[in-house]
Amino acid sequence: MMEQLPALLILIPLLTALASPLLSYLSGRLVRCTALAALLAAVFCAVGILTRVLSEGTWHYRFGGWEPPWGIEYAVDPLAGALAVLITFINFMALIYAKTEMEDATRTKKGVFYALFLLTTAGLLGMTVTGDVFNLYVFLEISSLSTYALIASGGKRAIFAAFRYLIIGTVGGTFYLLGVGYLYAVTGTLNMADMAVKIQPLLNTPAVIVAIASIVAGMGIKMALFPLHGWLPDAHTYAPTPISAIISGIMIKVPAYVIFRMLYFVIGAGEGPVQQALTVIGCIGAAGIIHGSIMAIAQKEFKRILAYSSMAQIGYVAVGLSIGNVYGLIGALFHVLNHAVMKSCLFMVAGAVKWRTGEYRIDKIMQVSKKLPLTMFAFLVAAFSMVGLPPTAGFFSKWYLVLGAFEAGKWPFIVVIILSGLLNAVYFFRIIENTFLRKKEGAEAEAEEKEIQTATGLELPLTMLVPILILGAGVLIIGVSNQQIISQVIQYALPGGGF
Amino acid sequence: MTPEVLLDYRPLWAVLISLIAAVLIMFHGKRPNLREAWTIMAAFGKAIIVFSMIPAVLAGKIPAIEPIHIAKGITLHLQADPTGMVFAVLASVLWILTSFYSIGYVRKLEEKHQTGYFASFAVCLSATMGIAFAGNLLTFFIFYEILTIATYPLVVHKRNKEAIDGGRKYLAYTLIAGQLLLIGIVWSYVLAGTGDFQPGGFLAGAAASDTVLKVIFFLMIVGTAVKAGVMPLHGWLPTAMVAPTPVSALLHAVAVVKAGAFGVVRIVGFVFGPELLGELGVAAILAGVAGFTIVCSSVIAMNQDNLKRRLAFSTIGQLSYVVLGAALLTPLSMIGAIFQIVAHAFMKITLFMVAGAIHATAHLDNVSQLDGIGRKMPFTMGAFTVGALGITGMPLIAGFIGKWNLALGALEAGKPIYVAILIISAMLSSAYLLPIVYKAFFKKPSLVSHHDSHGEGHHDHGEANKAMLIPLVMTAIISIVLGVYPNAGAHLYDFAVMAVQGIVSGQVIGGGW
């Protein structure tokens, strides 16, 4: 059983996904419980895998016993293992949160929703643990297609957003496939480890250069790197909240992981075209940070602010990858973790505020902190982390990125990162002003105040409150224990083993 | 001589105790008496912890905690060195007095959001302790930022447009400053491989060009000088006076602004060191800016009718004494700077508390309305007189000692111009503070205007209530005691001398007070 964990990690969500529509005919509650159980099992699988790879090194799992390069190999190193834990954990939180979102849905709709949710998870996990570049494409499409459908379930405008994402996303996937095709043509292998060896003499050939360009462009679209981010704001804004949380927290991180994997592990970031690709990624990442932050300031809707902010934050990861030294990469990976936790928390808060007040516009949610004290406290923590105030997690990603940029002598990045923190402060403190300080004006204040009661007498249903609080606390815990996380997990995830 | 380091967790407890109190305060929002009891208990507890470390520090030891690893290669390090002790003793004593005063003030005025108010206050004090005891730059920075954030709810306490705008301005200044400081910290860390404060500075041996060091100095000084209100970075301070008066008193006379001034001392004495700064020549520029601030702010203060604003500008000027003392780089001027942190805190908090007592009792905010108020509130205005005379630098009140050393230091540095500035400033501060005393005691109250603006009932007030009166009288008395015998109680002057001896590495300091 333990030996099969990498397969189980994918198969449990995948098979449960297939069973979900069927189960939904029996009962809506049953399908939800099964889905939760499946994801919880996946969390345990991921944790089990991570513990093993941390103590024993990379885990090569051969599907069906076929030796690579003929068969498909899952190669789980600490990087992939850690990301798998993150994916399963955040998705599990989002799934708990999804209950109120799906309350009024018909049983069939529930079945489909949970099926798609699990498919997405399976796809993302597959992308993470696979050691085969084509297999990665298959999982990419699994997760993307199910995400399009999930986004579209958010209502009329969401359908447009999803369709737009579908077209752009498919182009991105195709670019990636094209790149893989070129690599296959010159190396004759799809296995990552095999390819890493065979590609070395070919680094400066046109085919490899085109392959790098295509892969970066394709994954750049999926991770919403500026200026390939057009799909992101609408998709984030109109998707159902738990879906926004996972797109922003996880979906855009996994392509970043793919870029990291391909450039640093498969092709090797020594010199030549990869360095140039990284420079480009860094520049557009930096541009994205500024663009995203400024656009976020211009928005009025809670989720839209967060959407643009996600686009800016993915730029941090890009910048970290581009800096390329130990501190820069630690910063990038640490930020993947941080941002996943804090942004999914923020999206859930936005959803909770909407649930309680019916409003997304931040100028209409005055003093919501009185109705939702715990929720808004979690919001504060996550927002401070986004701004990068110590001792929250966000400060430490900034710290490592700036440290890395200094060491590498890449000054513009320092300016951008610092500036971005301040721009974040502008839009987050605007939300804080509205939600905590400003009072409603006379008539407006009396007009509404329809009281929503929860069964437990708490400010929110437990299924919403618990994930928000866990993630909010997570931001602080990650910040305080960043030293442990880095020295025990992240540093083993770096190419060449870190320090 | 390197002082012996003692493993001791008291510095950490001094930080944590008010943090724990903040949590308890939040939980007991519905029971005001219990809630206030937590504040008082934490305040006394903190003072006891801090005072219990005095003998060890006096004996030349440094109580320090086992460093806690918080980031790769960087640790959270708290240590009670003499410089930090000065600030810690000061803040912990004043917190006790301000707590009582706050309770009297907010209850008298029936302020809203009292729970958040006291909780934020407690967090601010934790941050202040952290700043005082920080053993390296990152620890300093972490608490510095926590202080910024914890003060924000206090600034916007009134929740009206003015308060929110004030809060925005406050954040804009302090957050930007914080980020600049962060760049400076990371840069110096990359250059020197460490961020640990070292008496005499740790950047001297770093392999860096002068230009780089100058830029780092600029970044760090801007980062801290914003909180210290050095012109032209002072804009937030008068605006932040929208906060309730006890906040202005503790935070804008003691914690926040002094954290900035203290940061300047740390950077000059413990990051760069006087020698390196002397070679770089940047300190002279800083001294010039501080001198400009001293004169300019005093002139502006004369034109303010609102009492708190007048005091705010006076604060800006007085804080620059600290900056000036640090920037002159001579041992005496630095002793003066460190002692000025203490002296100004006691005197200015007295003045602010008086302003608050007048506001809460007589509902007056403007200097022009204060005619004859001394007859009704003799003790309050008596305390004000002491504070005012102290600010002007009258001998036998604490302010004089700091200024005397500053002036000697200026001569030592061969820059007599700063003596002239100190004298001008003393005259200007007499010009904006003493007329208030004169009006209060010797002018007849103008009853007519009183009636017009406030209606019935407000002019037959007496003294401020005891919770406000006793603390402000006590700070006035302490100001006098410290002026006569600066080592009274907590050996603050000795600590200042010890701190500076560390910075100039044992060199004999002649003269002084």
Q: Residues A276-332: pLDDT tens digits?
A: 888 899 999 999 999 999 999 988 888 899 999 999 999 999 999 998 888 888 899
Which of A386, A418, A420 to mutate against chain B (most B CBs within 10 Å)?
A: A418
A-chain residue closest to B170, CA distance: A429
Q: Which of A41-45, A457-461, B103-107, B398-402 has the highest mean pLDDT?
A: A41-45
Chain A residues touching B156 at Cβ < 8 A: 433, 437
Quote the pLDDT of residue B452.
Answer: 45
Domain end point (choices A112, A131, A150): A131
pLDDT band at A7 (very low <50, low <70, confident <90, very high): confident
Q: DSSP class of residue B61?
A: E
* Nearest by Cα to B483 from B404, B424, B369: B404
Longest dimension (CA), chain A: 74
Quote the pLDDT of residue B459.
Answer: 53
Two tokens, residue B347: 């005197």
Give the closest-approach CA distance of B187 to chain A in angstroms: 7
Give the closest-approach CA distance of B70 to chain A in angstroms: 5
B141 touching chain A per CB within 8 A: yes
Chain B residues touching A486 at Cβ < 8 A: 71-72
Give the closest-approach CA distance of A327 to chain B in angstroms: 9
User: Measured between alpha carbons, how far is A295 from A377 in angstroms, rounded to an integer?
Assistant: 25
B183 touching chain A per CB within 8 A: yes
Question: What total of structural domains would you count in chain B?
Answer: 1
Pairing of strands B4-7, B61-64: parallel
Of B72, B141, B187, which has the smallest distance from its Cβ to A390's Cβ? B141
Q: Are A390 and B146 inside 8 Å of each other by CB?
A: yes
Exposure class string for A317-339: b at 16+ Cβ within 10 A, else e:
bbbbbbbbbbbbbbbbbbbbbbb
Domain span at A166: 132-497
* Nearest by Cα to A297 from A436, A435, A422: A422
A-chain residue closest to B158, CA distance: A437
The answer to whether position B472 is within a domain reads: yes
Domain end point (choices A90, A108, A131): A131
Domain end point (choices A131, A165, A183): A131
A492 touching chain B per CB within 8 A: no
Of A406, A437, A480, which has the smallest distance from its Cβ to B186's Cβ? A406
Helix axis angle for A411-432 and A302-323, nearest 10°, is 160
Give A175-198 as a DSSP string. Answer: HHHHHHHHHHHHH---BHHHHHHH
Of B72, B183, B190, which has the smallest distance from its Cβ to A486's Cβ? B72
User: Measured between alpha carbons, how far is B64 from B48 in angstroms, rounded to an integer?
Assistant: 17
B70 touching chain A per CB within 8 A: yes
B168 touching chain A per CB within 8 A: yes
The answer to whether position B118 is within a domain reads: yes
- B459: burial class by Cβ within 10 Å (0-12, 13-18, 19+)? middle
Per the CB < 8 A criterion, the answer to whether A27 and A106 are in contact is no
Residues of chain B numbered 37-56 and touching chain A (CB < 8 Å): none
pLDDT at A40 over 90: yes
Quote the pLDDT of residue B456.
Answer: 44
Of B69, B71, B171, which has the smallest distance from its Cβ to A399's Cβ? B71
Radius of gyration of chain B from Cα atoms? 22
Residues A178 and A213 in one domain: yes
B448 touching chain A per CB within 8 A: no
pLDDT at A359 over 80: no
Query: Across the 513 residues of chain B, what is the mean pLDDT of every consecutive 10-residue run?
Result: 73 85 82 82 87 83 79 77 87 87 81 80 88 88 90 84 85 89 88 81 77 88 88 84 81 82 89 84 87 90 87 88 88 87 89 87 83 84 90 84 87 86 90 88 68 48 80 88 80 80 68 57
**SS3 of A258, please?**
helix
Quote the pLDDT of residue B14.
Answer: 84
- Percentage of chain A exceeding pLDDT 70: 95
Question: What total of structural domains would you count in chain A?
Answer: 2
Residues A120 and A145 in one domain: no
Q: Are B72 and A384 inside 8 Å of each other by CB?
A: no
Chain B residues touching A389 at Cβ < 8 A: 145-146, 148-149
Residues A127 and A151 in one domain: no
CA angle A432, A437, A440 (to 5 degrees): 115
The tens digit of pLDDT for each residue in B426-455 reads: 899 898 888 888 888 888 876 544 444 444
Which of A363, A406, A430, A487 to mutate against chain B (most B CBs within 10 Å)?
A: A406
Distances (CA, A) of B181 to A418, B134, B178, B227: 11, 15, 5, 12
A-chain residue closest to B143, CA distance: A390
Q: Are B189 and A403 inside 8 Å of each other by CB?
A: yes
Quote the pLDDT of residue B73.
Answer: 67
The tens digit of pLDDT for each residue in B452-483 reads: 444 444 456 777 788 888 888 888 888 888 88
Helix axis angle for A78-101 and A28-56, nearest 10°, is 160
Chain A residues touching B158 at Cβ < 8 A: none
User: Measured between alpha carbons, how far is B418 from B408 in angstroms, rounded to an integer?
Assistant: 10
B187 touching chain A per CB within 8 A: yes
- A272: burial class by Cβ within 10 Å (0-12, 13-18, 19+)? middle
Which of A374, A437, A484 to mutate against chain B (most B CBs within 10 Å)?
A: A437
Q: Which helix (H) or strand (E) holds A330?
A: helix A326-357
User: Measured between alpha carbons, how far is A242 from A345 in angstroms, rounded to an integer?
Assistant: 10
Give the closest-approach CA distance of B480 to chain A in angstroms: 40
Quote the pLDDT of residue B455.
Answer: 45
Q: Are A402 and B183 inside 8 Å of each other by CB?
A: yes
Give B315-361 as a DSSP string. Answer: HHHHHHHHHHHHHH-SHHHHHHHHHHHHHHHHHHHHHHHHHHHHHHH
User: Measured between alpha carbons, how far is B342 from B320 in angstroms, rounded to an integer?
Assistant: 14
**SS3 of B63, please?**
strand
Q: Are B145 and A439 inside 8 Å of each other by CB?
A: no
The tens digit of pLDDT for each residue in A200-231 reads: 888 888 888 999 999 999 999 998 888 888 88
CA B134 to chain centre: 16
Of B163, B171, B186, which has the smallest distance from its Cβ to A429's Cβ? B171
- A271: burial class by Cβ within 10 Å (0-12, 13-18, 19+)? exposed
The answer to whether position B510 is within a domain reads: no
Quote the pLDDT of residue A178.
Answer: 94
B171 touching chain A per CB within 8 A: yes
The answer to whether position B508 is within a domain reads: no
Q: Which amino acid appears at position A419 of this protein?
A: L
pLDDT at A65 over 50: yes
Residues A142 and A231 in one domain: yes
Of A396, A403, A421, which has the smallest distance from its Cβ to B190's Cβ? A403
The answer to whether position B119 is within a domain reads: yes
Q: DSSP class of residue B134?
A: B
Q: Are B190 and A387 inside 8 Å of each other by CB?
A: no
Chain B residues touching A438 at Cβ < 8 A: 159, 164
Quote the pLDDT of residue B203.
Answer: 80
Q: DSSP class of residue A302?
A: H
Quote the pLDDT of residue B457.
Answer: 45
HEC assignment per residue over A403-432: HHHHHHCCHHHHHHHHHHHHHHHHHHHHHH
Residues in chain B: 513
* Nearest by Cα to A87 from A248, A249, A244: A249
Give the closest-approach CA distance of B139 to chain A in angstroms: 10
Per the CB < 8 A criterion, the answer to whether A396 and A482 are in contact is yes
Domain span at B74: 4-503
Residue linked to tokens 């301040």? A422
Q: Are B168 and A429 inside 8 Å of each other by CB?
A: yes
The tens digit of pLDDT for each residue in A384-417 reads: 998 888 888 888 888 889 989 988 888 889 999 9
Residues A194 and A292 in one domain: yes
Helix axis angle for A462-480 and A78-101, nearest 10°, is 150
Give the closest-approach CA distance of A207 to chain B in angstroms: 40
Residues A221 and A353 in one domain: yes
The answer to whether position B490 is within a domain reads: yes
Helix spans in A372-410 (H): 373-387, 393-408
Of A407, A422, A483, which has the smallest distance from its Cβ to B71's Cβ? A483
The tens digit of pLDDT for each residue in A106-162 reads: 888 888 889 999 999 999 999 999 888 899 999 999 999 999 999 988 888 888 889
Exposure class string for A6-19: b at 16+ Cβ within 10 A, else e:
bbbbbebbbebbeb
User: Measured between alpha carbons, how far is A382 from A431 in angstroms, rounded to an integer?
Assistant: 12
A391 touching chain B per CB within 8 A: yes
Per the CB < 8 A criterion, the answer to whether B335 and B509 are in contact is yes
- B455: burial class by Cβ within 10 Å (0-12, 13-18, 19+)? exposed
CA B188 to chain centre: 26
The answer to whether position B81 is within a domain reads: yes
User: Measured between alpha carbons, how far is B150 from A125 in angstroms, rounded to an integer?
Assistant: 41
User: Measured between alpha carbons, how far is B260 from B140 in angstroms, rounded to an integer?
Assistant: 11
- B131 CB neighbour count, 10 Å cutoff: 29
Q: Are B190 and A425 inside 8 Å of each other by CB?
A: no
Residues A32 and A151 in one domain: no
Residues A98 and A242 in one domain: no
Give the closest-approach CA distance of A315 to chain B in angstroms: 19
A424 touching chain B per CB within 8 A: no
Residues A484 and A367 in one domain: yes
The answer to whether position B28 is within a domain reads: yes
B351 touching chain A per CB within 8 A: no
Quote the pLDDT of residue A488.
Answer: 82
User: Measured between alpha carbons, how far is A148 from A125 in angstroms, rounded to an integer?
Assistant: 17
B164 touching chain A per CB within 8 A: yes
Residues A320 and A173 in one domain: yes
